[in-house]
Amino acid sequence: MGQPVNVGVVGCGAISAQYFQTIDRLPQLRLVAVADLDLDRAREAVRPYEGVDVLSVAELLADPRVDVVLNLTIPAAHAEVALQAIAAGKDVYGEKPLAATAADATRVLEAAAAAQVRVGCAPDTVLGTGTQTARKAIDDGLIGRPIAATATMMTPGHERWHPNPDFYYVSGGGPLLDMGPYYITSLVTLLGPVARVIGAASRTRAKRTIGSGPRQGEEIPVTVDTHVTGVLVHASGALSTLVMSFDGAATKAPNIEVHGEQGSLVVPDPNRFDGQVLISGKDGWQELPESAGYVGAGRGVGLLDFAADQELRAGGSLAFHVLDVMESLLAAAGSGTAVTIASTCERPRPVALHSSVS
């Protein structure tokens, strides 16, 4: 193995701890510096880790040690921070969505191409054994030609547990832009890119109440639709039916099912790396053994392709296509007409069963 890739993190909020844990246990990656608008938060976040510098954003971007900027800011800041990192000549990998709008994401990808730096984007959960084992089952022909999928995410909303949930209810948020990246990235991994969408959406209430933390009881405004449904017509002809909701109480529907001409698969939660994959057969449902994907992975495993100097599986063109699909679905819901997806992407290459993430 060569030198580890040096990672500088911008944004040290709720999700950052999971990334720090992953980077800490992967010899291919090294956390060298962190930054946040709130420097105290950044200091607190890296307290368990030795030798990590806490810097201003400008200092981190100018730091010659930093190979990759890991952008864990809120969605509204994703494009701005990515563009600053690219202007500093750094590769950048960010939390989802790639940007709050496809127009902003286009600016990011164009700037990266001009600067000849790489752009990656979460989710990397689909590189885990759950989605990858299901993908291998499809690729191996175990369910025959795939014809359809369902994807269901039903929750009363993240304000119950997130201490600063404002971003989930403004432009760039909502159940589709927040959770859709997991489901749609998984569907594209399983069934390929999307050619056309139809949709419908609704909003049940104008305010939400924060359920935890110092702001508990505070009401925050809702300016986006909070129940989004649609059909994704994949380029292959397969049809995926999607329900993404912050308005429901609960569901017993599988996160994702894929139906082929000869069988069906239950695919585990795409917001997790692992989980049980079930296949239908003449004796009912049977569990498939883990046969592909990173075993024991955590958030940040998508950065391994930077370290291996390979084309990114959790890459910019996939993240852009997923954002384009989501934006088009909201446009279709608004207009009541089908929307053709202008972008496309390669199905990311599969992950062989890989146990080095431990």
Ligand X SMILES: NC(=O)c1ccc[n+]([C@@H]2O[C@H](COP(=O)([O-])OP(=O)(O)OC[C@H]3O[C@@H](n4cnc5c(N)ncnc54)[C@H](O)[C@@H]3O)[C@@H](O)[C@H]2O)c1
Structure tokens that stand for 188 in this block: 């594209």
Beta bridge mates, 285: 280
Which of these segments, 12-20, 242-250, 260-268, 324-332, binds ligand X (CB under 6 A)?
A: 12-20
Helix 75-87 × helix 102-115 angle, to 10° = 20
Give the SS3 label for residue 319: helix
Q: Which two tokens stand for residue 133?
A: 């084992």
What are phi and psi for residue 284, nearest 5 degrees? Answer: 95, -160
Question: Out of 52, 66, 70, 72, which residue is the one contacting ligand X (CB under 6 A)?
Answer: 72
- Give min distance, CB of 263 to ligand X, in A: 32
Among 95, 159, 290, 305, which residue interacts with ligand X (rule: CB under 6 A)?
95
Q: Does 44 bind ligand X (CB under 6 A)?
A: no
Interface residue with ligand X, options 26, 57, 126, 201 (CB under 6 A): 57
| Burial tier of 156 (Cβ tally within 10 Å: 0-12, 13-18, 19+) | middle
Q: Does 104 bind ligand X (CB under 6 A)?
A: no
The minimum distance between CB 164 and ligand X, in angstroms, equals 5
Nearer to ligand X, 260 or 273 (CB): 273
The β-bridge partners of 70 are 9, 93
CB of 111 to ligand X, least distance (A): 17
Q: Between residue 111 and residue 170, which ones bind ligand X under the rule CB under 6 A?
A: 164
Tell me which stretch binds ligand X (CB under 6 A): 10-18, 233-241, 259-267, 280-288.
Answer: 10-18
Query: What residue type is 17 in one-letter code?
Result: A
Provide, rounded to whole angstroms, the least separation between the CB of residue 77 and ligand X. 4
Work out whether 37 is an interface residue with ligand X (CB under 6 A).
yes
Residue 185's Cβ-count burial label (10 Å; 0-12, 13-18, 19+) is buried
169 touches 89 (CB < 8 A): no
* φ and ψ at residue 35, rounded to 5 degrees: -145, 155
Give min distance, CB of 191 to ligand X, in A. 23
Which SS3 state, helix, strand or coil, does residue 136 take?
helix
Residue 79 binds to ligand X (criterion: CB under 6 A): no
DSSP secondary structure code for residue 237 in this structure: S
Among 10, 256, 314, 319, binds ligand X (CB under 6 A): 10
Residue 17 touching ligand X (CB under 6 A)? no
Q: How far is CA 222 from CA 99, 172, 225, in A?
A: 20, 12, 8
| Region from 4-12, 141-149, 222-230, 300-308 binding ligand X, contact rule CB under 6 A | 4-12
Q: Residue 97 corresponds to which amino acid?
A: P
Smallest gap from Cβ 12 to ligand X, in A, equals 5
C-beta of 186: minimal distance to ligand X in Å? 14
Report the alpha-carbon distance of residue 73 to residue 182 in Å, rounded.
18
In the chain, the amino acid numbered 67 is D
Q: Does residue 33 belong to the site contacting ligand X (CB under 6 A)?
A: no
The residue (of 14 and 233) whose beta carbon lies closer to ligand X is 14
Q: Which of 7, 33, 69, 81 binds ligand X (CB under 6 A)?
A: 81
Residue 269 lies near ligand X (rule: CB under 6 A):
no
Burial pattern 326-336, b for ≥16 Cβ within 10 A else e, equals: bbbbbebbeee
**Which range in 59-67, 68-76, 149-157, 239-247 contacts ligand X by CB under 6 A?**
68-76
Nearer to ligand X, 174 or 315 (CB): 174
The residue ranges that bind ligand X (CB under 6 A) are 10-16, 35-38, 41, 57, 72-75, 77, 81, 95-96, 164, 178
